[in-house]
Amino acid sequence: MSFNESNLIPCEQVLPNIVLYIDHEILDNQQLSEVEIHFGQCSPCRTQMEQENTALVLIRNLLCNALNESAPEELNDRINQQTQELYNQMMQQDQNQGITEITYTQTTYTEITTEGATQIEITSEIRRQFPQE
75/68 Cα distance (integer angstroms): 16
Nearest to 63 by CA among 114, 11, 25: 114
Residues 76-125 have pLDDT tens digits of 888 888 888 887 877 776 565 565 666 555 555 556 555 555 555 556 66
Decide: pTM greater than 0.95: no
Q: At what angle do helices 43-67 and 29-41 cross, to 10 degrees?
A: 110
